[in-house]
Structure 1
């Protein structure tokens, strides 16, 4: 077994770094038998496999050369050992002096977190040049841990980097507790607001000299080009306000092409920030749908400056300046979050009421469409409500039933439809039942309200343009007609005459069948360029063009228009829980209308509303 590195006897600060990107050497095997050396080693060759021929009589005999006595006396073994020890001590003393002079008296240690290979820990005196949690020991021998992000590192980090760091924080925190002779407390997993006594925030670590901090104007100039893009941030308007004491920044970047999960997390993150009294910011630097203000108005900005980017951490939860993104969703909205915010004493939909309230707070503050789209939604909702009104003298107005149909690469939860989609007649049949139940016995005398039933109708929104042409929905009204996604059959052929030679053009692109992730990532790209491109390349290395971003923005706007009109104009909404748009509609409708009044109807199994 390789010897352990003793960290307890050193008199200067120490740190442990994860993951093992630097200074990792493969340790010796744990087996007792020795492995053979390489074939090029002087201690191992293949001579024993070849029979040596007898010595040639014409050649001199192979006899050892006589040993000559040295002309000068050799130093004794004791003197040589003493010289080695003195030289080594002088070398270590010089290195230690130089390290203290440069403020780098902190050895860095790394080890493997995700592999089964054994590594030998090797120390050095440089902070890592990549983001990572580190364990440090101050001059009093007290072990703590913090997160080191180089101030000039690109912000925001990638989705994978944020996800990896959340796992690494747990590993380093466990290691520090072991150094203190303690095991992981049970409440650290179940208590959402558990505070690790051994964690140091970045600003506190800088004050104690465990992190170098940020000094001088050179860093500020460098960081201005790498500070991401916080929506609505003013570069020169809040200079005298100072940094926010605590904050939560939501990073919109995600590897998921769908807009629904990101929107739900955004609303919940805002509600969580308000609950924890944190200032809230949104970063749209690498959002697949372009700039946030293409679809929505900028969120309300707090009366303080956002903190330095290297102080925004994805973990732990007690960090003063927290980052939330798709990469940290499990850490932010995982089991401990559910244990904290779900009403565990209820088994019905009221179990999710506290989580719903967080999402509702985010909807009310952030779901503000741009001026053009909001004006259209207001007029469209008014038009639909006017159509449902019964002339003077009627008892009730007609009922508007909203239908949300999600196709594409998303399939229902219900087993019998899991390989395909729920048939449209299931939607329409449920809509007719709702209308019948609502208007039967609705007159003062208990009879059927015929006039109101005649003014009842369905409005439909779908990611599949072919749904609008289906016979089952022939009498339904489109939720919105501002932005329509056309199927291939509705796109005119640019060259109908096949007898004439034409210049090559890409095949017509139609939004047929619904929303597919692959179709989204290829949007606006030439088929010639995409032939051999890997899926991850389409998301990262191949930077989307301005036309691609314009098309993506239109898709996002169409999706938001559908949800806004359905949620605000419908008396009842029928949808499938497997679609995130269905869950968003419940938030838009409000708790009393959707849940208490049971006007949010899920037809995809017997599931109750849940957020993520």
Structure 2
């Protein structure tokens, strides 16, 4: 008997039993999915629960019905579009007037476009000497430029250089004040040394184009300056186009020493390179003669120098600058001296010191090339001195130390207070050299002992403007830096023996360089004692005087070249400009960072061209 279903023990009191005619299978999906045949079939899924039936055709549409465009303002355009067009037109008008205002208020553009107005500045009113002049345009705006009459002497005299630079400063300040009063708006004066247009300066070329200054007489005059510039010539060659910007350095000074002029020359070259200017040198009035008698020609430029009347001593923003030792410090201002302090002995800030040093180093690398004969001698001399400090049979691994000593006497006195009226004692140089040797070799030998062999192969290289220093006991055994040209003492000169019983033609008494280099002695080279006009001889020296001065300059340059190239360490006094030149020649890393440049003149550091 089959088992029966007992429902008496169920939890539910009531139970609904479906009629036998109800079909429990689901209806076919709207996607014609027939579904599984059984509950255990692999075709069973829940896709039918993910789809909904299509919307009823009786429901309203979700998007609004399209409306026909209505006619706007005037029957053809909307008011909003009219306002937009008006705003566009107003914007264009404002831009036009803004550009027009900038054009008319520019200090340069009106001069380039406006024809010359004789009622503003008359050419007949131009000064017949170099001087800055005021310019006023048709709108009453004031600017200024520098007028140098064509055909003026080139380079300018020292007095003209100084006067023009002083008047440039005064004129720039005056223009700034006048423009401030007229606009009733205070304007900051940036100074005539500024690179910006704040000084309202108009360059010569723009002033000529506007008619304020007369145009050059002919195109050939544009190359007149080439005749006096070092290494430049137009003979047999096609003239080069004029440089866009340039800086010309004039070698002229009332200082008999060569060191300060050389430091200014190197620094000016560095400034020219930083500003993208071509660089030229004028030696027409140099006390030492021709530049190429001492040095080789400077690097050639791809462009030519400008006309002479476009070379201006000020302001710094001028397209073509001409600089001399008279105006260099004033023109370059704090950039050269490193500060505006009245105390020339104030220690420079490290940032200013390195900036000045790097500028001078640029000039040294490009310009310090001795003439061919002296350069060959220096190279051979340096190789010979460096070979002396090599210990034999060590293959260069064990070398002595070459200590360069530069002693300056004459009219240059130390900065240190106790020696300002005299000179630095020679024994201080010798003791400093001895201390350097001991620090170097006392513990570098085997087992930390003294390296006596290397110390014995060390040497001192000596250069001085006083020939008596070479005979000093403290520096006995020192080697002369160079022996090609020497400043002799009077006792070293051989005087001819004459019969005192016979009358002879008078000869000037010979003099030597005892005591060092003095300006008065330099200016009197080649002058007989019968000629008492020192100033005339200074301005117009004879050929013999120029030759002797050139020899002095060559000896000085060879001394510095050998000391810088052959020495591992250099001892000198920073009060001498030659000592500062040696630091530049050694380079920042060797001289400053490694401490191979030793100053024994107090605690003053390297200071460029400052006194």
Count matched residues: 484
Q: Distance in 2 between matches of 1:518 and 1:390?
A: 46
State the match for 1:358 in structure 2.
359
Q: Distance in 2 between matches of 1:377 and 1:488?
A: 27
For 1:60-99, what aligned pairs fall within 5 Å after superposition? none
For 1:178-577, what aligned pairs fall within 5 Å after superposition? 178-181=177-180, 185=188, 187-188=190-191, 193-216=195-218, 220=221, 224=224, 229-236=228-235, 239=238, 241-335=240-334, 349=350, 351-393=352-394, 396-443=398-445, 445-530=447-532, 533-534=533-534, 536-540=535-539, 543-577=540-574
SS at match of 1:196: helix
Shift of 1:546: 0.9
Go from structure 1 to structure 2 and tell me whether the alpha carbon gap of 1:436 and 1:549 turns closer, same or farther (over 3 Å shift). same
8 Å contact kept, 1:159–1:326: no
Are 2:578 and 1:581 aligned? Answer: yes
Are 2:597 and 1:594 aligned? Answer: no
Shift of 1:395: 5.4
Q: Distance in 1 between matches of 2:426 and 2:348?
A: 31
Shift of 1:512: 1.9
Q: Distance in 2 between matches of 1:499 and 1:333?
A: 64
8 Å contact kept, 1:465–1:487: yes
Go from structure 1 to structure 2 and tell me whether the alpha carbon gap of 1:606 and 1:316 turns closer, same or farther (over 3 Å shift). same
Q: Distance in 2 between matches of 1:340 and 1:320?
A: 26
| Farther-moved stretch of structure 1 (134-143 vs 347-356) | 347-356
Q: Distance in 1 between matches of 2:187 and 2:528?
A: 53
Q: Distance in 1 between matches of 2:435 and 2:179?
A: 65
Go from structure 1 to structure 2 and tell me whether the alpha carbon gap of 1:338 and 1:502 turns closer, same or farther (over 3 Å shift). closer
SS at match of 2:364: helix
Go from structure 1 to structure 2 and tell me whether the alpha carbon gap of 1:440 and 1:149 turns closer, same or farther (over 3 Å shift). same
Q: Distance in 2 between matches of 1:390 and 1:306?
A: 53
8 Å contact kept, 1:227–1:309: no
Q: Distance in 1 between matches of 2:217 and 2:506?
A: 58
State the match for 1:134 in structure 2.
133
- Measured against aligned partners, the alpha-carbon deviations of 1:539-582 in whole angstroms (never above 9, x if no partner) come to 22xx1111111101100000000000001000000000110000
TM-score by length of 2: 0.75
- CA RMSD in angstroms comes to 2.5
Go from structure 1 to structure 2 and tell me whether the alpha carbon gap of 1:515 and 1:154 turns closer, same or farther (over 3 Å shift). same
State the match for 2:56 in structure 1.
none
Shift of 1:181: 2.0
| Farther-moved stretch of structure 1 (238-247 vs 288-297) | 238-247
SS at match of 2:214: coil
Shift of 1:444: 5.7
Q: Which runs of no fewer than 5 residues in structure 1 stay unpaired?
A: 1-101, 109-123
8 Å contact kept, 1:106–1:125: no
State the match for 1:90 in structure 2.
none
Which has more radius of gyration?
2
Shift of 1:103: 8.6
- Measured against aligned partners, the alpha-carbon deviations of 1:36-94 in whole angstroms (never above 9, x if no partner) come to xxxxxxxxxxxxxxxxxxxxxxxxxxxxxxxxxxxxxxxxxxxxxxxxxxxxxxxxxxx
Q: Distance in 2 between matches of 1:433 and 1:578?
A: 22
Q: Distance in 2 between matches of 1:592 and 1:308?
A: 41
Q: Distance in 1 between matches of 2:257 and 2:476?
A: 28
8 Å contact kept, 1:571–1:599: yes
Go from structure 1 to structure 2 and tell me whether the alpha carbon gap of 1:349 and 1:430 turns closer, same or farther (over 3 Å shift). farther
State the match for 1:32 in structure 2.
none
8 Å contact kept, 1:460–1:479: yes
Q: Which runs of no fewer than 5 residues in structure 2 stay unpaired?
A: 1-115, 341-346
Q: Distance in 1 between matches of 2:336 and 2:423?
A: 32
Q: Distance in 2 between matches of 1:452 and 1:446?
A: 14
Q: Distance in 1 between matches of 2:489 and 2:209?
A: 60
Q: Distance in 2 between matches of 1:158 and 1:106?
A: 31
State the match for 1:30 in structure 2.
none
SS at match of 1:163: helix
Q: Distance in 2 between matches of 1:507 and 1:188?
A: 54
SS at match of 1:327: coil
SS at match of 1:245: coil
Are 2:608 and 1:611 aligned? Answer: yes
